[in-house]
Amino acid sequence: MKSFFLLLIFILNGYSQKIYFISQSGNDQNTGTSVKSPWKTLKDFQQGNTYLFHASDTFYLNIPKIKIEDSLPTTISSYGKGIKPLISGYRIISPNMIFPTNFQNVWQVDINSNLLGGLKSDQNENVGFLMIKGEIYGNKCKALNLLKKDGDFFDEKGILYIYASLKPNNKIYFACNGNIITLSNNLTISNLRVEGGGSHGVQGVNVRNVRIKNLDIKNIGGAYLKGFGNGFIRYGNGIEFWESAANCYVEYCSIKNVYDAGFTAQGRSPSKVFSNIIFRNNSISYCEQAIEFWQEHCLDGFKKCSFSNNKSIYAGYGWSHDVRPDTSAGVHVLVYFPLLGKSDVEINDNSFTNGRTASLRLPVDFNKNNCLSLDNNSYYGNNDKFIYYNNGEIKSISDFKSNVSKE
């Protein structure tokens, strides 16, 4: 009934949703309103329309938050036959852009050069990782003189420095600070591949009514989180809801090779709440964590939030683990701060296999107020290092079961 009245309001207000097609072979001078006349880029992005990317194509672009938001639903998806279209944040270095320096085995690249391929941006800085011949190199050094082994890198003032015993003769892909997709209210997004961002694959800040389905996200994170800590804290999640969110569903997505968590809902505001945030039927592999929940200051920070029927494997075995300052969080489930007040988070019916540090990392008093429910999950491996408490104490699965009846 509610949907009917919304539709009626749209009709009475003269609302007419437009469908735009975007193709690698398109032209931004086209109308974009038919498969025979597609755009080449996301030329104009407004609420209330549908935007379809052509299957099997690669698009080097960011999908931004809509500037002027209202209650109209917006859709981003794909069209045509083939694999899911790729939305990529990679910048691409050709071998002819690489020059020697005065330091042995250290090479330099002007990453603001017009010769740079991939995503065109005026913010080619704060590199998260390199990818060479399909392999990720994540050892981001704090200073030029710390480059010691092949693949080590450092960037400063538009110059990327790379350690290599021989001059690189392959293309180098690199990811910079920034989200690939920034969510808007009332957005449905589906059937895309997302890759090559130095911050988050997908992030929503205080968003409402979002549906994310069938996204394949990989190779994300590693940039410095500017203005936080000592300035050298690295970050990056697959899909993040920040500060607050309501009525958001994430399902049938695949997340792989992410610096931090595959999925997370987190914030610091004492007044912001996550309500009805649902992660279900997803797969997560080689991320430092599968799921992370925390609200540092809010008394009732989570209401009807859940992580269910997901499959996570090899938490802490991805590219980021060995280049992290803290390697004690290679777990499937991470909760940094106790859930307070009347918070309500359910983690149930999941499969967790091989957590490098442990299966779970939780506060010692994580269930003090019965805010976190762990029920009917399956755990494989790590029985002797099942739970890592935030005070550094490690417990086996038998110790844990004696204190948490449902598991």
Segment 291-346, tens digit of pLDDT: 999 888 777 789 999 999 999 999 999 999 999 999 999 999 999 877 766 788 99
Element (H, E) at 302: strand 302-303
What does each C-alpha distance from 226 to 114, 122, 147 come to in angstroms? Answer: 26, 17, 22
Strands (E), 10-79: 19-22, 50-54, 58-60, 74-79
Distance of CA 291 to the CA centre of its chain: 11
Binning pLDDT at 50, 70 and 90, where does residue 403 land? low
Nearest-angstrom CA–CA distance, 113 and 93: 10
Binning pLDDT at 50, 70 and 90, where does residue 69 land? confident
Residues 6+ away with beta carbon under 8 Å from 27: 38, 39, 40
What integer pLDDT is reported at residue 1 of this predicted model?
43
**pLDDT tens for each residue of 77-90:** 999 999 999 999 99
Coarse DSSP helix, strand, coil percentages of the chain, rounded to the nearest 5 percent: 5, 45, 50
Nearest-angstrom CA–CA distance, 84 and 57: 8
Per the prediction, the chain carries an average pLDDT of 91
CB 141 within 8 Å of CB 152: yes
| pLDDT > 90? residue 11 | no
Binning pLDDT at 50, 70 and 90, where does residue 7 land? very low
Nearest-angstrom CA–CA distance, 354 and 386: 10
pTM of the prediction? 0.93
User: Which has the minimum average pLDDT: 35-49, 64-78, 132-146?
Assistant: 64-78
- The CA angle 291-89-76, to the nearest 5 degrees, is 75
β-pairing, 117-118 with 91-93? antiparallel
**pLDDT tens for each residue of 306-319:** 999 999 999 999 99
Binning pLDDT at 50, 70 and 90, where does residue 406 land? low
Look up residue 206 and give its two tokens. Answer: 């205080």
Look up residue 144 and give its two tokens. Answer: 């030029």
Binning pLDDT at 50, 70 and 90, where does residue 282 land? very high
Nearest-angstrom CA–CA distance, 406 and 374: 7
Sort residue 310 into left (φ over 0), alpha (ψ -120 to 50) or beta. Answer: beta
What integer pLDDT is reported at residue 269 of this predicted model?
84
Nearest-angstrom CA–CA distance, 190 and 167: 40
What does each C-alpha distance from 346 to 159, 203, 213, 315 come to in angstroms? Answer: 46, 22, 20, 20
Nearest-angstrom CA–CA distance, 237 and 294: 14
What letter does residue 48 receive in the DSSP assignment? T
- At position 136, the amino acid (one-letter code) is I
